């Protein structure tokens, strides 16, 4: 039963992440990101300690709220994926399938397969925003997805994190979201857009 | 519990400092007091202290103890130096505190993954200080890169830790998986410390972040993470005794690249901060080499090197800060002869060299040699040792420049001891235009015969940058200043004539008359009228009044601050993009020279609608005076200038009757520095600033007192140097001017009230001497601390030796040593508690099947 719940949650995570990276409206992206982060927490077998679980959920909601506030005060437009959501969904699905492959790691694992699969999918989805993001919001969203994916990989391989680890992971997510807000607000103050200009290319050479 | 106290102080004070950042004096006070309390708390941490938290624990180790003590001392010293150098960044102390707290948490957590995550999180406060103040696109880019590096580091570390996490990780690990985990962790360290080829972030950060923040960004937080990674690798990878030669070779190559290319890059840099940055990269090469060694003998030298690394790099950054504050530049080519004028800084550099490079009998030399030998073996180890010694190249270059002929900027250095009246003049004026350089300190020269040339050089720089200031491409003129800029001849006599002015474009900073600066974008104008969004975000620059600009003043000396939306000329020596000059670079009033005391930075201006700001103005500056100024800014500002010059003794008293007569004139509490355009060849009065051109203010004269709400009009008012005595430039934002105006006449400063100017100027001179003395002494103190650590004082070696990892990466306390091993498949590394035991580890390392 828990496996089925975990599998369903993993699909929700991946679908939400696809929404997050594909949305042109940052508000939709935040909804997807928050949903993915919240759902990530429950993909574990056994489920984390209730307090740790609650903290991770609150941390994910707070991270989303920080980004929401940023968007509310600046600009809700963000750079969407150039490939379109079907391409992103297919890439994520492929990564998900690879993660489910039982022979991927020829070894015993302590965590559920669904976590590994969702972790791979999130990491794949986060690569483009992290490397090629031109605006702060998209960069921060990619970084949060990357951290969620890494945390899922950790759950899938090493099992449910300890409460202390859950605590630090939640703090890390809040910190990244807060730092993203700071960068985004300053970028908006400078240029009137969320552009940060760190994507590779000629612009980077300024 | 002692660790908990440290955490409570650092996190509490850091959060309080951030929450009160709208009130800079309060925030600064909280930050400094918090750092001092954190230092006391760090000293009181007793190694061996354990606090059980759930299934894990917080344990205080000797290494952690020394790390946080060194880190806190460095942070406190750098914050004080930043204040003294007028290079304060409003988040500096808070970021330092939060970073130190996270590092202490990460080093104290017995859970390896949680510890890694905490040390990764320690890098996030760096984003707050990587954003330059005043904010510009360059700083935003640096902050975004820093954020990306931190998060990517965390992801790599999590993945690596997931793959191999002791009992809870994979069992029956294939060699490939262990190798991947090892590489992932090494990659995380390389990204975090900015190792080549991931060094571009470091280069960008050193080019834009405040010098005082560089240790946090480049040394402290990365060293903490590297320490946690070392513990993890020693406890999870090295203990497997798997043949990972290929992975080790890759890491060694990267480490050698850092050592050799870092030296090369540091040697060819033209900027001291970049030298600091690349020296950090170079020294980080030894950290990578240590990661490539599985022999437990490397534990002690690796951790010892990390402790020394933190202190020496902080000292080097502090020295760079003192140099910049003293000479007003960080360009090496302009620092010729600095040793002749600042022998104390020369001693400081010598101590830093000794602490970093060392001599064969010194601990620092030995630990580097050990790391190199263990990583490379003979004879390749010689390459790494020579690479470490090669840092003498860039240190030697700095020294060689220092003994050269004295350059004009260096000639303006007043020294730290009075040398009579001539020095007093230089000392009092040397601070004109100080600071504001995106959190970096600067000082202006004022040497007869060189003043005009220097000002002209700055003007040439400014002109060089004109027309290149796009909203996302604003560069600092001082950065792109051509070294070969020809000094021009400037006629700065008298009050600069008014002229058409630009609309306070962001490009119109200290670069002077931003003739070709593009007008602020429409989006910025729109945003300018928005309510304050977030305190950390400066408003679209100079955009409060959408009145179109009409060119720019050709006069050298107008700096309509970008935060002039409230009708105040927040004239700083700001450079392009100085959008936040009003509040971010703030020196508290209690630290100002007595004669400059009074104006206190107020809340941000620049984004709020003018109407609301008008309502905030004191009655003395509302109504007809502002209207008059809007109608005829030239006349009024010239009147104010005359008044200021009279008070400074630079002009004969007039019978008044101008718009700035006594009954109605706003208080011109000296706000002006960087009065480049006021005049360069007028007779000087001791302590006066009106004749002190700043390199950055050469084209950015200071206008004090209320003026039109339109920055462009402010610029049109001409480069009038009103300030007759000293005030930190960066603190003189709109808020400062507002405060100045609201000061009742009865509360004017003695000089403003017409008292003996010599007395005030003497106080300013005294402060000036103290300021430079404080900077020099603090830099020397930090370097001496580094030298003591490098010599093995404070039990550095013992602390490093005690940081023995257990299986799973947990730190083994001395009290636990010899206990039952906790790992299922490795030998007991806790035997590393003594040198002999460490040397024998792993005695029977069992490869994981």
3-state secondary structure of B811: strand
Partnered with residue B812 across adjacent β-strands are B804
Residue B267 makes CB contacts below 8 A (sequence gap 6+) with B393, B394, B397
A196 burial (CB, 10 Å; 0-12 / 13-18 / 19+) is buried
3-state secondary structure of A25: strand
Backbone angles phi and psi of B553, in degrees to 5: -75, 135
B135 CB near a chain A CB, below 8 Å? Answer: yes
Q: Which domain holds residue A137?
A: 2-205
Nearest to A154 among B143, B161, B473 (CB): B161
Nearest to A172 among B117, B177, B537 (CB): B117
Burial code of A29-57, b = ≥16 C-beta within 10 A, e = fewer? bbbbbbbbbbbbbbbbbeebbeebbebbb
Give CA separation, A195 vs A28, A128, A178, B138, B216, in Å.
Answer: 19, 16, 17, 12, 26
Alpha carbon distance B674, B719 (integer Å): 10
Are residues B159 and A153, on separate chains, in Cβ contact within 8 Å? yes
Partnered with residue B811 across adjacent β-strands are B805
Are residues B537 and A159, on separate chains, in Cβ contact within 8 Å? no
Count A/B contacts: CB-CB distance under 8 Å: 198
Alpha helices in A23-162, H assignment, sequence order: 26-41, 50-73, 85-100, 113-132, 136-158
Residue B110 makes CB contacts below 8 A (sequence gap 6+) with B56, B57, B58, B59, B810, B811
Per-residue pLDDT at B104: 92
Write out pLDDT tens, residues B559-585: 333 333 333 333 333 333 333 333 333
Chain A nearest-CA residue for B576: A190
Per-residue pLDDT at B653: 54
Do B31 and B17 form a contact (C-beta atoms < 8 A)? Answer: yes
Nearest to A110 among B161, B168, B506 (CB): B168
- For chain A, the farthest-separated pair of C-alpha atoms sits apart, in whole angstroms, at 55
A192 CB near a chain B CB, below 8 Å? Answer: yes
Chain A nearest-CA residue for B470: A191
Which residues on B lie below 8 Å from A162 (Cβ)? 54-56, 111, 113-114
Alpha carbon distance B389, B354 (integer Å): 11
Q: Which two tokens stand for residue B3?
A: 């660790």
Do B108 and B61 form a contact (C-beta atoms < 8 A)? Answer: yes
Write out pLDDT tens, residues A86-110: 888 888 888 888 877 765 555 666 6
Q: Which two tokens stand for residue A161?
A: 């994190």
Are residues B162 and A167, on separate chains, in Cβ contact within 8 Å? no
B94 CB near a chain A CB, below 8 Å? Answer: no
Residue A12 makes CB contacts below 8 A (sequence gap 6+) with A35, A36, A39
Alpha carbon distance A192, A195 (integer Å): 8
Opening angle at CA B310, ends A198 and B375, nearest 5: 90
Alpha helices in B571-727, H assignment, sequence order: 610-616, 624-631, 633-648, 711-716
Q: What is the share, in percent, of chain A residues with pLDDT greater than 70?
A: 87
Nearest to B55 among A73, A136, A162 (CB): A162
B121 CB near a chain A CB, below 8 Å? Answer: yes
Chain B contacts in chain A segment 12-71 (CB below 8 A): none
Per-residue pLDDT at B247: 87
Give CA separation, B667 vs B182, B237, B581, B598, B619, in Å.
Answer: 65, 69, 21, 11, 12
B706: region left, alpha or beta (phi > 0 left; psi from -120 to 50 alpha): beta
Which residues on B lie below 8 Å from A161 (Cβ)? 113
Opening angle at CA B388, ends B383 and B393, nearest 5: 110
Nearest to A158 among B165, B473, B577 (CB): B165
A172 CB near a chain B CB, below 8 Å? Answer: yes
Do B564 and B710 form a contact (C-beta atoms < 8 A)? Answer: yes
Nearest to A157 among B54, B169, B473 (CB): B169
Alpha carbon distance A90, B326 (integer Å): 59
Which residues on B lie below 8 Å from A167 (Cβ)? 114
Per-residue pLDDT at A96: 86
Write out pLDDT tens, residues A119-149: 889 999 998 888 887 788 888 889 999 999 9
Alpha carbon distance B462, A149 (integer Å): 48
Chain A contacts in chain B segment 43-82 (CB below 8 A): 53-56
The rounded Cα B103 to chain-centroid distance in angstroms is: 19
Chain A nearest-CA residue for B126: A179
Q: Which two tokens stand for residue A187?
A: 């970028």
Alpha carbon distance A46, A67 (integer Å): 31
3-state secondary structure of A195: strand
Alpha helices in B621-722, H assignment, sequence order: 624-631, 633-648, 711-716
Alpha carbon distance B674, B691 (integer Å): 8
Alpha carbon distance B724, B737 (integer Å): 14
Chain B nearest-CA residue for A51: B54
A151 CB near a chain B CB, below 8 Å? Answer: yes
Per-residue pLDDT at B87: 80
Per-residue pLDDT at B763: 66
Backbone angles phi and psi of A58, in degrees to 5: -65, -40
* Residue A201: CA count within 13 A, CB half-sphere: 9
> CA of B7 to nearest chain A CA: how many angstroms apart?
14
B174 burial (CB, 10 Å; 0-12 / 13-18 / 19+) is middle
Alpha carbon distance A145, A180 (integer Å): 13
Q: Which two tokens stand for residue B773?
A: 């003395």
Alpha carbon distance A60, A58 (integer Å): 5
Which residues on A lie below 8 Å from B579 (Cβ)? 189-190
Residue that has been written with the tokens 């497997």 in this structure = B240
Per-residue pLDDT at B734: 34
Residues B21, B24, B25, B31: is their CA dihedral positive or negative?
positive
Alpha helices in B1-136, H assignment, sequence order: 2-19, 24-44, 62-84, 92-108, 112-121, 125-130
Nearest to A187 among B140, B168, B521 (CB): B140
Q: ipTM of this complex > 0.85? A: yes
A130 burial (CB, 10 Å; 0-12 / 13-18 / 19+) is buried
State the DSSP code for B215. Answer: I
Are residues B162 and A105, on separate chains, in Cβ contact within 8 Å? no
Which residues on A lie below 8 Å from B472 (Cβ)? 190-191, 195, 197, 206
Are residues A105 and B170, on separate chains, in Cβ contact within 8 Å? yes
Q: What is the mean pLDDT of residues A16-20?
A: 90
> CA of A191 to nearest chain B CA: how many angstroms apart?
5
Low-confidence ranges of chain B (pLDDT < 50): 166-168, 416-627, 629-630, 633, 637, 655-756, 806-809, 811-849
Write out pLDDT tens, residues A29-39: 889 999 999 99
Per-residue pLDDT at A145: 92
3-state secondary structure of A135: strand
B480 CB near a chain A CB, below 8 Å? Answer: no
Opening angle at CA B407, ends B403 and B411, nearest 5: 95
Per-residue pLDDT at B804: 54
Q: Which two tokens stand for residue A169?
A: 């992971």
> CA of A5 to nearest chain B CA: how many angstroms apart?
23
The alpha-carbon radius of gyration of chain B (Å, integer) is 28
Do B370 and B381 form a contact (C-beta atoms < 8 A)? Answer: no
Nearest to B135 among A154, A171, A189 (CB): A189
Are residues A186 and B537, on separate chains, in Cβ contact within 8 Å? yes
Per-residue pLDDT at A128: 86
Which residues on B lie below 8 Å from A183 (Cβ)? 127, 131, 140, 143-144, 147
Going by C-alpha positions, the residue among B280, B18, B471 that lies closest to residue A179 is: B18
Please give the tally of structural domains in chain A.
1
> CA of B89 to nearest chain A CA: how many angstroms apart?
15
Which residues on A lie below 8 Å from B131 (Cβ)? 182-183, 186
A59: region left, alpha or beta (phi > 0 left; psi from -120 to 50 alpha): alpha
Q: Which two tokens stand for residue B429?
A: 């004026």
């Amino acid at each position: 039963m828990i496996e089925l719940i975990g599998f369903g949650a993993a699909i929700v995570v991946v679908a939400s992440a696809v929404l997050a990276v594909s949305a042109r409206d940052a508000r939709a992206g935040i909804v997807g990101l928050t949903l993915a982060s919240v759902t990530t927490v429950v993909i574990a077998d056994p489920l984390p300690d209730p307090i740790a679980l609650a903290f991770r959920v609150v941390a994910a909601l707070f991270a989303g709220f920080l980004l929401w506030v940023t968007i509310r005060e600046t600009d809700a437009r963000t750079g969407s994926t150039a490939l379109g959501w079907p391409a992103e969904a297919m890439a994520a699905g492929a990564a998900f399938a690879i993660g489910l492959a039982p022979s991927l790691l020829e070894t015993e694992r302590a965590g559920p397969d669904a976590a590994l699969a969702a972790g791979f999918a999130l990491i794949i989805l986060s690569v483009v925003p992290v490397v090629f993001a031109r605006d702060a919001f998209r960069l921060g969203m990619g970084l949060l997805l990357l951290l969620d994916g890494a945390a899922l990989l950790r759950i899938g391989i090493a099992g449910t994190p300890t409460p202390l680890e859950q605590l630090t992971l939640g703090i890390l997510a809040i910190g990244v979201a807060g730092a993203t807000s700071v960068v985004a607000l300053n970028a908006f103050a400078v240029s009137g857009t969320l552009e940060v200009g760190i994507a590779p290319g000629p612009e980077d050479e300024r | 519990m002692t660790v908990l106290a440290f955490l409570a102080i650092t996190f509490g004070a850091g959060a309080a400092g951030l929450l009160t950042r709208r009130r800079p004096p309060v925030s600064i006070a909280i930050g400094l007091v918090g750092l001092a309390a954190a230092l006391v708390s760090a000293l009181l941490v007793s190694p061996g202290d354990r606090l059980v938290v759930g299934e894990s624990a917080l344990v205080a180790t000797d290494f952690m103890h020394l790390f946080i003590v060194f880190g806190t001392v460095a942070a406190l010293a750098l914050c004080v130096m930043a204040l003294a150098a007028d290079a304060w960044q409003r988040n500096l102390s808070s970021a330092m505190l939060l970073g130190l707290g996270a590092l202490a948490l990460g080093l104290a957590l017995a859970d390896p993954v949680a510890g890694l995550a905490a040390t990764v999180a320690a890098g996030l406060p760096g984003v707050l200080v990587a954003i330059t103040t005043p904010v510009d696109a360059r700083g935003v880019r640096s902050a975004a890169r820093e954020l990306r590096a931190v998060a990517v580091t965390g992801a790599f570390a999590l993945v690596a830790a997931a793959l191999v996490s002791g009992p809870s990780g994979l069992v029956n690990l294939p060699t490939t998986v262990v190798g991947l985990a090892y590489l992932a962790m090494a990659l995380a360290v390389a990204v975090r410390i900015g190792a080549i080829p991931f060094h571009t972030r470091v280069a960008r950060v050193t080019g834009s972040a405040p010098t005082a923040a560089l240790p946090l960004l480049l040394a402290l937080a990365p060293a903490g993470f590297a320490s946690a990674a070392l513990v993890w690798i020693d406890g999870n990878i090295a203990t497997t005794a798997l043949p990972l030669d290929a992975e080790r070779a890759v890491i060694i190559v990267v480490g050698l690249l850092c050592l050799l290319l870092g030296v090369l890059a540091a040697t060819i840099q033209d900027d001291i901060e970049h030298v600091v940055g690349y020296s950090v990269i170079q020294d980080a090469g030894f950290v990578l080499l240590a990661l490539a060694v599985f022999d437990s003998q490397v534990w002690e030298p690796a951790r010892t090197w990390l402790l020394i690394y933190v202190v020496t790099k902080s000292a080097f950054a502090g020295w760079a800060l003192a140099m910049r504050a003293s000479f007003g530049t960080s360009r090496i080519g302009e620092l010729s002869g600095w040793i002749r004028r600042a022998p104390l800084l020369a001693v400081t550099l010598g101590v830093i060299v000794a602490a970093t490079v060392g001599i064969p009998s010194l601990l620092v030399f030995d630990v580097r040699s050990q790391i190199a030998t263990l990583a490379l073996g003979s004879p390749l180890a010689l390459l790494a040792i020579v690479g470490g010694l090669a840092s003498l190249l860039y240190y030697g270059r700095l020294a060689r420049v220092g003994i050269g002929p004295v350059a004009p900027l260096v000639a303006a250095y007043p020294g730290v001891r009075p040398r009579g009246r001539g020095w007093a003049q230089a000392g009092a004026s040397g601070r004109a235009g100080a600071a504001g350089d995106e959190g970096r300190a600067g000082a202006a020269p004022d040497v007869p015969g060189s003043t005009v040339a220097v000002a002209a050089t700055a003007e040439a720089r400014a002109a060089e940058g004109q027309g290149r200031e796009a909203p996302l491409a604003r560069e600092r003129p001082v950065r792109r200043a051509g070294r070969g800029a020809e000094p021009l001849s400037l006629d700065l006599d008298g009050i600069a004539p008014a002229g058409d002015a630009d609309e306070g474009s962001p490009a119109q900073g200290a670069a002077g008359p931003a003739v070709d600066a593009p007008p602020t974008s429409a989006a910025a104008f729109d945003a300018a009228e928005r309510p304050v969004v977030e305190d950390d975000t400066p408003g679209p620059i100079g955009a409060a009044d959408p009145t179109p600009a009409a060119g720019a003043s050709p006069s050298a000396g107008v700096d309509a601050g970008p935060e002039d939306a409230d009708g105040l000329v927040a004239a700083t020596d700001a450079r392009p993009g100085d959008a936040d000059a009003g509040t971010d670079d703030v020196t508290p009033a209690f630290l100002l020279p007595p004669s400059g005391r009074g104006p206190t930075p107020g809340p941000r201006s620049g984004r709020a609608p003018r109407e609301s700001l008008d309502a905030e103005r004191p009655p003395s500056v509302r109504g007809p005076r502002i209207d008059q100024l809007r109608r005829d800014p030239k006349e009024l500002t010239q009147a104010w200038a005359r008044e200021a010059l009279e008070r400074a003794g630079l002009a004969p008293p007039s019978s008044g009757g101008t718009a700035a007569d006594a009954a109605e004139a706003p208080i011109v509490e000296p706000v002006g520095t960087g009065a480049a355009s006021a005049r360069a060849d007028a007779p000087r009065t001791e302590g006066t600033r009106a004749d002190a051109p700043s390199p950055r203010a050469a084209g950015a004269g200071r206008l004090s007192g209320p003026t039109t709400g339109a920055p462009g009009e402010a610029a049109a008012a001409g480069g009038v140097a009103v300030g007759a005595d000293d005030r930190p430039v960066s603190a003189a934002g709109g808020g400062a001017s507002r405060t100045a105006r609201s000061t009742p006449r009865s509360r004017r400063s003695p000089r403003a009230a017409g008292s003996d100017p010599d007395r005030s100027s003497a106080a300013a001179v005294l402060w000036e001497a103290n300021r430079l003395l404080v900077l020099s002494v603090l830099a020397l103190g930090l370097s001496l601390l580094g030298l003591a650590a490098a010599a093995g004082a404070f039990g550095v070696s013992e602390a490093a030796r005690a940081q023995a990892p257990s299986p799973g990466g947990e730190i083994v306390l001395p009290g636990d040593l010899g206990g039952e091993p906790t790992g299922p498949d490795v030998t007991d590394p806790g035997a590393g508690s003594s040198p002999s035991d460490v040397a024998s580890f792993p005695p029977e390392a069992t490869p994981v099947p």
